[in-house]
Amino acid sequence: MTDFVQVSTSTETRDQAVELARSVVQARLAAGAQIIGPVTSVFWHNGEFGTGEEWQLLLKTTASRYAELETHLIERHPWTNPEVTATSIVQGSAPYLEWIDRTIAN
């Protein structure tokens, strides 16, 4: 079975998150996306402590498509050094995982 991952990034605005989600799903790099927000983030950035509101973007894809998805996100993201991380999906319903696989197949 294919290895599946959930990829996460965040943006400053809802519109930025929606645009990234659309570009990724239309390119079939992810089968689907959820946008959550606003969320409060607490962080260090450029040596300074900060807080802010962000919109989190969760994308479902396969491990084999991760590198291409990461490149796509970084090239189109409004931030210079955005968070782009992947977490393995260790369990999932077979029909759902098959849908991911079919949707992003080349």
Q: Are 20 and 57 in contact (CB under 8 A)?
A: yes
Place of tokens 């990829």: 7
- Strand order across the 4-11 sheet: 32-45, 48-62, 4-11, 85-89
Model confidence, pTM = 0.91
Report the interhelical angle of 14-26 vs 66-76 (nearest 10°). 140
Question: What digits encode the pLDDT tens for the residues 8-38?
Answer: 999 999 999 999 999 999 999 999 999 999 9
For the 4-104 domain, the top CATH level (class) is alpha beta
Whole-number pLDDT of residue 63: 95
Q: What is the mean pLDDT of residues 99-106?
A: 89
Question: What digits encode the pLDDT tens for the residues 77-102?
Answer: 999 999 999 999 999 999 999 999 99
| Every domain of the chain and the residues it spans | 4-104
